[in-house]
Homo-oligomer: A and B are copies of this chain.
Amino acid sequence: MAACGFVAGCSPVSCFAESEYWHQRTSLFDLLPVGEDDIVFLGNSITDGGEFAELFGMPDIKNRGISSDVVGGVAKRLGQVLSGRPCKIFLLIGINDVSHGLSADEIASEYESLVERIRMESPTTRLYVQSVMPVNNDFRRYKNLVGREGVIPHLNRRLEDIATRHGAVYVDLWPALADAGTGKLRREFTNDGLHLTGKGYAAWVRLLKAYVEE
């Protein structure tokens, strides 16, 4: 039974960050303190589906992914992470905002507020702004992304600029995940054009390893 329901009366866009699952996860995270030695993976389903402590062999890595989450959803739960002043945050968020029809500028504006808060409320945290991953609409699975592929590179240029201006590290995931010719998420890394299979997680982990361990 997939946890994909939303609170009655909410439109998908305005309340995407208010799903039942979002509240299940955030109420759980409320019980799980983040500490100064922790490395937090913060994001949506792509983060949620990973087992990063195992993948990196580092028990201090904490998964703070929530399927379906958006930039505004992460903003609402940011205090849970920042209060612990974690060592590092790996942020990966934005593809669901693209799917909801927001422009790169709209997403980037919300994203910049997020980054500003992280820098201000936990200045000792090293922040890694990850590029939104490529998608592959050949799978025809996520219809709301069809025709919006072009938003992602535009958004990523904005994210790189935001990271640079706010003292964060920008991590471009495209060299590891995108087909060099088409710019699509490589077929061997996904089975729906958006989420990663094990091979996809392995490629992502290979790219991040130096940042996680530095």
Interface residues of A in 27-42 (CB under 8 A from B): 27-32
Q: How far is the CA of A51 from the CA of B1 in the complex (A)?
A: 19
A138 → B minimal CB distance (Å): 14
Bound CA span A99–B44, Å:
27
8 chain-A/chain-B pairs, Cβ below 8 angstroms: A1-B44, A1-B45, A2-B3, A2-B68, A24-B195, A27-B197, A28-B201, A31-B198
* Complex interface bits, A162-199 against B, C-beta within 8 A gives 1, otherwise 0: 00000000000000000000000000000110111111
Size bin of chain A's contact surface = 35 or more
Distance A20 CA – B192 CA, assembled complex (angstroms):
7
In the complex, whether A153 has a CB less than 8 A from a CB of chain B is: no
CA distance A95 to B3 in the complex (A): 14
Contact A2–B1 (Cβ < 8 Å): no
A54 CB–B CB distance under 8 Å = yes
CB of A59 closer than 8 Å to a CB of B: yes
CB-nearest residue of chain B relative to A190? Answer: B24
Contact, CB under 8 Å: A67 / B1: yes
The answer, yes or no, to whether A158 is at the interface (CB within 8 Å) is no
Once the chains bind, are A24 and B67 in contact (CB under 8 Å)?
A: no
Assess the B99–A29 pair: CB atoms within 8 A.
no
Q: Measured between alpha carbons, how far is A62 from B57 in the docked complex, in Å? A: 12
User: Beyond the given A1-B44, A27-B198, A51-B63, could you list 15 further A-B residue pairs with CB under 8 A, ordered by the A residue number?
Assistant: A2-B3, A3-B45, A24-B49, A24-B192, A24-B195, A24-B198, A28-B49, A28-B51, A28-B198, A28-B201, A31-B55, A31-B198, A31-B202, A51-B62, A59-B59
Task: Judge whether B191 and A20 touch: CB under 8 Å.
Answer: yes
**Does A67 lie within 8 Å of B3, measured CB to CB?**
yes
A44 to chain B, nearest CB (A): 7
A192-B5 contact, Cβ under 8 Å, with A49-B28, A54-B32, A141-B20: yes
B194 touches A1 (CB 8 A): yes
A146 at interface, CB cutoff 8 A: no
